[in-house]
C-alpha cells in the first residue's frame, strides 16, 4: 500500500477511535446532569458536545506530545504499530461499552499502542529488546495518575459537599436543589470542557505521531487541522451518546441530587484540568467515578454501591493489558499474513 494511502487510513482509524471515545465517554460528561434531571439526555449531549469542541482553542497540545512521543519511542514506531494499537483500543472500548462498563478510553489507547510496539520490537530485534521501545518516564506519570486521579476526584467532591452543606446549612434540601439545578449547567459545561481538552489531545498525539513517522512532519508539532479534526470527532461522538454507560454512572453507583451532581462535576473538572496543565493524559472516566463515589459517601458509606464500584475498578485494571493483548494479537496476525509489513 502506498505510504500516503496508509497514512490516510490510519488517520481515519484514529478519528474513528476519537468518535468512539466521544460516545463511550459521553456518559462521563452527561450522566450526572441527566441523573439529577436538570437536562434531558438530548439536551445534555448537545451541551457536552458544544464544550467538547470549544475546548479545542485552549490548553495547547502538551498532552498530545506526551501520548504521541512520551510513552513509546517514536524511532521504533511504524505505521503498522500505530494502526494495530488503535485497533486494540477500539475493540476494547466497544466490548466495555456493550457491557456498560465505564472504562478508560485513554488507558485503552495507551495499552494498545504499547502492546503493538512491544511485539513489533520483539519480532524485529528479539524478545530481549522488546521493552526498549517503552519510555518509562511517561508511563510512571500515567500510572501515578491512574491511582491519584480518582482519589483526587473523590476527595475534592467530598470536600465540596461539606462546603455546600455548611454554606446552605439554614436552607432546606429542596431550596438547595433549586440553586444547584442552575449551577449544575455551569459545572456540567466545565466538566465537558475539561474532558474535551484532555481526551481529544490523545488522538492528536497519535495522528501527529503518524505524520512524523511517515516523514510528513520533521518535528512533533500538532497541526491546526489535526486539532480541529480531533475535537470535531469527539464532539460528534458525544452527540450520539453512550446510554448504556450513562445508566451505570448516573444511577447505579449512588443516587444523585443536583447539589451532588454539581460537586461531582466541579471536582472532576478541577482534577482533569490539573492533569492537562501537567501534560498528563488522565482518565476522565476514573476521575468522575471517584467524584461520584465521594459525593455518595458524604452521608454514609453504604450510600455508595461498592459492589458496582468494585466491578468498575476491575475493568480499569484490565483495560491496559486487555487492549495491549488485542493490539499484540493484531500485529502478530498482520505480520503472519503480510511478512514484509513492518
170 belongs to a structural domain = yes
pLDDT above 60: residue 171? yes
Identify whether the C-beta of residue 3 lies closer than 8 Å to the C-beta of residue 214: yes
pLDDT above 60: residue 230? yes
* Choice between 88 and 22, residue whose per-residue pLDDT is larger: 88
User: What average pLDDT does range 164-176 have in this prediction?
Assistant: 84
Exposure class string for 103-126: b at 16+ Cβ within 10 A, else e: bbbbbbbbbbbbbbbbbbbbeeee
Collapsed DSSP state (helix, strand, coil) of residue 123: helix
Q: Which of 30-34, 83-87, 155-159, 165-169 has the lowest mean pLDDT?
A: 30-34
3-state helix, strand, coil in the chain (%, to 5): 80, 0, 20
pLDDT value for 200:
85
pLDDT above 60: residue 247? no
User: What average pLDDT does range 307-333 have in this prediction?
Assistant: 80
* Choice between 172 and 253, residue whose per-residue pLDDT is larger: 172
pLDDT value for 156:
93
* Choice between 271 and 340, residue whose per-residue pLDDT is larger: 271
342 belongs to a structural domain = no
pLDDT grade, residue 27 (50/70/90)? low
Whole-number Å distance between alpha carbons of 32 and 41: 11
Task: Return the axis-axis angle of helices 105-125 and 3-35, rounded to nearest 10°.
Answer: 150
* Choice between 181 and 112, residue whose per-residue pLDDT is larger: 112
* Choice between 317 and 203, residue whose per-residue pLDDT is larger: 203
200 belongs to a structural domain = yes
pLDDT value for 300:
57
In this structure, the chain runs to a length of 342
Collapsed DSSP state (helix, strand, coil) of residue 243: helix
pLDDT value for 303:
47
pLDDT above 70: residue 308? no
**Domain interval for residue 302:** 3-337
pLDDT value for 335:
85
pLDDT value for 252:
47
User: What average pLDDT does range 296-325 have in this prediction?
Assistant: 69
User: What average pLDDT does range 2-23 have in this prediction?
Assistant: 88
pLDDT value for 145:
81
How far CA 227 is from CA of 9, 55, 60, 107, 271, in Å, comes to 18, 10, 10, 20, 22
Q: How many helices (H) and strands (E) does the chain have?
A: 12, 0
121 belongs to a structural domain = yes
pLDDT value for 310:
64
Identify whether the C-beta of residue 118 lies closer than 8 Å to the C-beta of residue 253: no
Number of domains in the chain: 1
Grid cell at residue 315: 475493568
User: What average pLDDT does range 207-228 have in this prediction?
Assistant: 90
33 belongs to a structural domain = yes
pLDDT grade, residue 102 (50/70/90)? low
The one-character DSSP state at 223 is -
pLDDT above 60: residue 109? yes
Amino acid at each position: 500500500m502506498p505510504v500516503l494511502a496508509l497514512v490516510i487510513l490510519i488517520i481515519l482509524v484514529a478519528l474513528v477511535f476519537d468518535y468512539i471515545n466521544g460516545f463511550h465517554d459521553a456518559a462521563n460528561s452527561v450522566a450526572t446532569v441527566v441523573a439529577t434531571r436538570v437536562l434531558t439526555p438530548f439536551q445534555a449531549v448537545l451541551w457536552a458536545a458544544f464544550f467538547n469542541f470549544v475546548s479545542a482553542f485552549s490548553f495547547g497540545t502538551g498532552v498530545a506530545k506526551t501520548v504521541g512521543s512520551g510513552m513509546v519511542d517514536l524511532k521504533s514506531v511504524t505505521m503498522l504499530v500505530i494502526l494495530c494499537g488503535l485497533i486494540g483500543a477500539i475493540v476494547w472500548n466497544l466490548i466495555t461499552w456493550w457491557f456498560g462498563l465505564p472504562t478508560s478510553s485513554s488507558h485503552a489507547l495507551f495499552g494498545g499502542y504499547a502492546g503493538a510496539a512491544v511485539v513489533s520490537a520483539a519480532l524485529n530485534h528479539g524478545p530481549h529488546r522488546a521493552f526498549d521501545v517503552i519510555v518509562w518516564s511517561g508511563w510512571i506519570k500515567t500510572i501515578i495518575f491512574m491511582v491519584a486521579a480518582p482519589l483526587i476526584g473523590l476527595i475534592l467532591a467530598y470536600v465540596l459537599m461539606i462546603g455546600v452543606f455548611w454554606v446552605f446549612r439554614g436552607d432546606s434540601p429542596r431550596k438547595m436543589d433549586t440553586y444547584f439545578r442552575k449551577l449544575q449547567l455551569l459545572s456540567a459545561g466545565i466538566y465537558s470542557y475539561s474532558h474535551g481538552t484532555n481526551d481529544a489531545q490523545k488522538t492528536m498525539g497519535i495522528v501527529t505521531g503518524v505524520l512524523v513517522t511517515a516523514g510528513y512532519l520533521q518535528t512533533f508539532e500538532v497541526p491546526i487541522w489535526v486539532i480541529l479534526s480531533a475535537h470535531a470527532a469527539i464532539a460528534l461522538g458525544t452527540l450520539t451518546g453512550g446510554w448504556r454507560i450513562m445508566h451505570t454512572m448516573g444511577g447505579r453507583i449512588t443516587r444523585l441530587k443536583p447539589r451532588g451532581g454539581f460537586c461531582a462535576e466541579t471536582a472532576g473538572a478541577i482534577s482533569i484540568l490539573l492533569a492537562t496543565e501537567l501534560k498528563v493524559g488522565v482518565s476522565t472516566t476514573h476521575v468522575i467515578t471517584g467524584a461520584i463515589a465521594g459525593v455518595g459517601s458524604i452521608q454514609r458509606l453504604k450510600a455508595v454501591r461498592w459492589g458496582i464500584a468494585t466491578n468498575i475498578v476491575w475493568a480499569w485494571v484490565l483495560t491496559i493489558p486487555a487492549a495491549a493483548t488485542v493490539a499484540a494479537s493484531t500485529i502478530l496476525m498482520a505480520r503472519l499474513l503480510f511478512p514484509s509489513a513492518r
